[in-house]
């Protein structure tokens, strides 16, 4: 099936993240200066603004912190997917990630629901992280 949804745009600083996704790895970051975790992937710490960042591979286990079920979306690539879930997932380190919850009945999703990381191959160049019930 051809992917017709929008795709991310990789920059020099996000390329390692997207390359890791192609390998089935999900990277979060930890600052070597203040020891805080962060996501989304960037070249500096969003807490202390220093550039001493290390990549850490996350298992991606988490819980749904909040979510919505999208019932209408007339945009190309989405119109055939309704209803679908967009959720805020809390993973290790207290990080919150906005993503889709797939491979489940949207009406059975609930706050606190345990989820795990999965990857969707959109194109040969793009593999996207998403979540599914665990």
Distance CA 57, CA 85 (A): 25
Tokens of 75: 């945009």
Reading phi first (left if > 0) and then psi (alpha if -120 to 50, else beta), residue 104 is in: beta
What pLDDT was estimated at residue 93? 83
Give SS3 for 34.
coil
Name the fold adopted by 59-134: OB fold (Dihydrolipoamide Acetyltransferase, E2P) (2.40.50)
Of 7-16, 21-30, 74-83, which has the strongest mean pLDDT? 21-30
Task: Give residue limits of the domains in the chain.
Answer: 11-58, 59-134
Give tens-digit pLDDT for 46-73.
999 988 999 999 999 999 999 999 999 9
pLDDT level of residue 22 (50, 70, 90 thresholds): very high
List all residues 6 or more positions away from 29 whose beta carbon is below 8 Å from its beta carbon: 37, 38, 39, 41, 42, 45, 53, 54, 55, 56
Output the pLDDT for position 46.
Answer: 93
């Amino acid at each position: 099936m051809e992917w017709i949804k929008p795709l991310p745009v990789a920059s020099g600083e996000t390329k390692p993240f997207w390359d890791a996704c192609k390998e089935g790895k999900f990277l979060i970051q930890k600052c070597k200066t203040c020891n805080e975790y962060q996501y989304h992937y960037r070249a500096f710490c969003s807490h202390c603004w220093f550039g001493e960042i290390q990549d850490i591979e996350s298992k991606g286990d988490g819980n749904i912190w909040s979510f919505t079920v999208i019932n209408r979306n007339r945009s190309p690539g989405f119109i055939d997917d309704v209803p679908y879930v967009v959720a805020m997932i809390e993973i290790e380190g207290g990080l919150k990630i906005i993503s889709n919850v797939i491979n489940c009945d949207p009406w059975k999703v609930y706050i606190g629901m345990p989820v795990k990381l999965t990857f969707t191959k959109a194109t040969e160049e793009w593999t996207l992280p998403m979540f599914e019930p665990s």
